[in-house]
Amino acid sequence: MANYNVVPLQRLVEQFERLPGIGSKTAQRLAYFVLNMPEEQAKEFSQAIIEAHEKIRRCEVCCNLSDREKCPVCSSPTRDRSTICVVETPRDALAIEGTGEYKGTYHVLHGVISPLNGMGPDQLCIKELLARLNNAEVSEVIMATNPTVEGEATAMYLSRLFKPLGVKITRLAYGIPVGGDLEYADDVTLARALEGRSEL
């Protein structure tokens, strides 16, 4: 393994191998690509990693990632503060934001309740959400956790926790994905789609 004795290269390959979905062949290809970059670009890349770590923190309101005290959504004057969409991760918030249909605010839990992975309610940003709900402003909480066992359990846990506060709690609709095929939909999804049918 000739090049594997080239320590700095090998170290760079290992760094790429750590990333999700990057196998050893891809890691090698990426490492060589970075090595062939102009030095200026490599420095930018290296700097971007450090800066992301140093400058990004959690929004003090919704716990989403931000480079200021409040994230752009929470500091926007045009967003509807009476609706909070609860998501597992910042990327989920980004996905909903991508639809362009949602005008309320978000709350990022940074995980789901998952005893197997050692994640209890205390590890999630639930305290911050409770603080927001104690504000009279909020009228609806949309549970937008993933439709997995853990996501469901978290949504159930939170809705029980929030019931006494008298806030309306909703859940994203389940059903056949748009453009999907009934034939290929799984039983559970199909059953949920039937259950949640609406009048035309």
Whose Cβ is closer to a second copy: residue 36's or residue 198's?
36
Q: Report if residue 197 touches a second copy, rule: CB under 8 A.
A: no
Closest-CA residue to 106 (of 68, 161, 66, 136) = 66
> Count of alpha carbons within 13 Å of 123, Cβ hemisphere only?
12
Question: How many residues in the shown chain lie near a second copy by CB under 8 A?
Answer: 60
Closest-CA residue to 107 (of 125, 131, 80, 81) = 125
Contacts of 132 (CB under 8 A, 6+ apart): 61, 62, 84, 107, 138
Q: Is 126 helix (H, G, I), strand (E, B) or coil?
A: helix
Q: Restricting to residues 8-37, which ones interact with a second copy according to CB under 8 A?
A: 8-9, 11-12, 14-15, 18-22, 26, 28-35, 37
Helix (H) or strand (E) holding 83: strand 80-87
Q: Report if residue 134 touches a second copy, rule: CB under 8 A.
A: no
Q: Report if residue 80 touches a second copy, rule: CB under 8 A.
A: no
Q: Of residues 53, 99, 116, 199, which one binds a second copy by CB under 8 A?
A: 53
Q: Of residues 24, 51, 127, 137, which one binds a second copy by CB under 8 A?
A: 51
- CA pair distance 135, 81, nearest whole angstrom: 10
Q: Of residues 84, 86, 93, 129, which one binds a second copy by CB under 8 A?
A: 93
* Binding interface with a second copy (CB under 8 A): 1-9, 11-12, 14-15, 18-22, 26, 28-35, 37, 39, 41-56, 64-67, 71-73, 89-91, 93-94, 97-98, 106
